Amino acid sequence: MMDNLSPEIWRLQAAVGLILAYALMCWRMYRKAALAGLPAPRPQPAAALAAVRGKPVWIIHASQTGQAEALARQAARALEKEGVEVIQRRIDQPWLDEVSAARHVLFVVSTYGEGNPPDHAISFARTQLAAGPCAALRGLSYGVLALGDRSYPQFCAFGRQLDQWLQQSGASACFPRIDADRLDALSLKRWQQALQGLGVHTPLLTPPLDAGYTEWRFIRRRCLNSGSPGAPLFKLELQPQAGLPPHWQAGDLIDLTPPGGDGRPRSYSIANLPEDGHLELIVRSVRRADGQPGLASGWLNETAWANDRVSLRIRRNPGFNLECGVDTPLILIGAGSGLAGLRSHLQARARAIADSGQPAPERSAWLIFGERSERHDRPCHSELEAWRRSRVLSRLDLTFSRDDPIRAYVQHALLEEAQAFRQWIAAGAQLLICGSAQGMAQGVEQAMREILGDEGLEQLRAAGRIRRDVY
């Protein structure tokens, strides 16, 4: 009997079946969002979902410490499991001339320091964003996950700038920009919801915010600048509650949650290597506007007693890690507590030279370091001098802002040694910069631009030869 149905009735039944199937899919999406405590996602039209599966989804990241890159890779794996072709790129790699055919492009970008893009995205921001709208992006369907820290005034600034540029270029957002405050849970749920709209039906394996935290014991502290006109600077030792310290490499960070604090972790550069059997930090005491000590620095530098417990985790910092041999010269520039991140790299260089069984090369490492007073501010002085005598440090230039108004800061020493700096750069030197983002890092950037020119500086940046850990 069904064989006698007219073609029109068959088409009607097929259409009704498609509508019912689509309604069932929407209901399931609604139920999943309701159970998660989220507003129901906007269902994508069937044509849009078909377009996603018929064309690749691009995922472009800009990451300083690796978190944005990890989220981008995770989203790519989730989409690929659903049968969607995915193309991944770093934002400074070629993509503008190829992406127009995709129609769906996801950006996962972080903001670094005082509203800056990640180091590898600086050239993109200066050339593309500053140039205004890009005609190649007209009609593009995009989404932005912006990572940042709300405690900074320029929260998610780079993500906001990127979103505005895309809109001005005629692209349309397939979901509202998501501004994530230190990977907060609600923002990550919204990101999951956005991916559901592109066809991802399985939950992302996003680790909980406390993943990787373990209990450590405070061991001891030692003031490195007694009598200094500046705030106290302490070297601190911590040990894991049980067993040997986990592995880390020079340039990595810790996230530390101070006891009795507000629950927000503070990040610090690790000042040594795990072979020491403990973890060391170099921390400057901080005072808030009301005169009270900072939660983390106050606990570390004033309150903690031997064997007090603290929760922390070790976090990779790919923007400040190195993969080079002892034949690659290092230029290390920093001030104050920035010595922490530089010291771990100097330890790594010293051990690499010792393991090689060969004398240090002529250009091994050059440290340019700034503090306030030569009489009182010589942190790790005996250690630095030992490295200088063994030629691990080929050059050691110190500046003291209270003693020498002409050569007050590290950028002044850099300009004074411009010829030597060019020679080290020509020999293939890798640059490591650690310390304050606003004062020191900005001054060093301007000095390098004066010495090398805009093109020379951008070439170093594009080659990955400038690594920064600034805060």
Domains of the chain, start order:
44-196 (3.40.50.360), 214-318 (2.40.30.10), 320-470 (3.40.50.80)
What is the dihedral sign for C-alpha 294, 434, 89, 91? positive
Q: What DSSP string runs through 394-405?
A: SEEEEEETTT-S
User: What are the CA-CA distances from residue 165 to residues 69, 110, 131, 133, 134 (Å)?
Assistant: 21, 16, 10, 6, 8
Quick one: what percent of the chain has pLDDT higher than 70? 87
Q: Enumerate residues 6+ apart whose C-beta is below 8 A from 95.
A: 58, 60, 89
pLDDT in tens, 26-83: 444 444 444 444 444 444 443 344 444 568 999 999 999 888 998 999 999 999 988 8
pLDDT in tens, 350-397: 999 999 999 999 999 999 999 999 999 999 999 999 999 999 999 999
Answer with the residue of higher pLDDT: 229 or 6: 229
pLDDT for 263 = 81
Identify the band that residue 209 occupies on the pLDDT scale cut at 50, 70 and 90.
low
DSSP state of 249: -
Strands (E), 182-240: 214-223, 233-240
In the block, which residue shows the tokens 């001098």? Answer: 385
Q: What DSSP string runs through 338-389?
A: GHHHHHHHHHHHHHHHHHHTSPPPSS-EEEEEEES-TTT--TTHHHHHHHHH
For residues 156-167, give the mean pLDDT: 97
pLDDT in tens, 230-284: 999 999 999 998 877 789 999 999 999 999 888 888 999 999 999 999 999 999 9
Identify the band that residue 210 occupies on the pLDDT scale cut at 50, 70 and 90.
low
For residues 126-142, give the mean pLDDT: 93
pLDDT for 55 = 86
Return mean pLDDT, the chain: 87
